[in-house]
Every structure is written in structure tokens, then in C-alpha cells.
């Protein structure tokens, strides 16, 4: 699936990103990696992505991060009773 060398660490600060949104992205992208590790700290949720297809390049991490942001927006709107 992936190759050695495709690894990235991304920290999502809880002031902007919801941990549930991070978990959703991990579930959605897990099949495209050799592994995803998540560490939930008091201020940040840190994700380590390993072993994705190198053909995706850096855009893989960008898409993962955008998924987390989008899900954070959707979940926040749902909690506030707005449009999802």
C-alpha cells in the first residue's frame, strides 16, 4: 500500500478542531495508510499518518486535515442547532 518515507505528524488544537472530527477522519482515511496513531492531549490531538501511497504526495496530509476541519464545522453546527 504505502512506502517507507511517507509519514507526517499533524497537531489539531482543541480550540478549533473537535476530537470527534479527528476520529472520523482517522476512520475515513485508515484504509489508505499502513497506520494512523492518535494521541489525545489536553490542548491538542496529535495524529501520525504512516505509509500512504507516495503518489498522493503532500496532498494526502492536506486532504486529511481538510476532512478534520470540515467535520469540526459540521459537528459544531449540529451542536448549535444550525444547518449540518
The domain segmentation of the chain, as residue ranges, is 7-79
**Domain 7-79 grouped into CATH 3.90.1720:** no
Which pLDDT does position 81 carry in this prediction? 86
- Residue 73: exposed, middle, or buried by beta-carbon count in 10 A (0-12, 13-18, 19+)? middle
pLDDT digits (tens, 9 = 90+) for 68-81: 999 999 999 998 98
Q: How far apart are alpha carbons 47 and 9 in whole angstroms?
A: 6
Task: Judge whether 34 and 76 are in contact, CB under 8 Å.
Answer: no
Question: Which cell goes with 34?
Answer: 499502513
At residue 4, does pLDDT exceed 70? no
pLDDT digits (tens, 9 = 90+) for 30-83: 999 999 999 999 999 999 999 999 999 989 999 999 999 999 999 999 989 866
Task: Judge whether 56 and 29 are in contact, CB under 8 Å.
Answer: no
Amino acid at each position: 500500500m504505502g512506502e517507507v518515507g511517507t509519514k507526517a505528524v499533524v497537531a489539531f488544537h482543541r480550540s478549533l478542531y473537535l476530537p470527534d472530527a479527528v476520529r472520523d477522519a482517522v476512520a475515513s482515511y485508515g484504509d489508505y495508510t499502513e497506520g494512523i496513531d492518535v494521541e489525545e492531549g489536553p490542548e491538542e490531538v496529535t495524529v501520525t499518518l504512516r505509509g500512504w501511497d507516495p503518489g498522493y504526495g503532500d496532498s494526502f496530509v492536506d486532504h486529511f486535515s481538510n476532512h478534520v476541519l470540515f467535520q469540526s464545522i459540521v459537528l459544531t453546527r449540529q451542536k448549535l442547532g444550525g444547518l449540518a
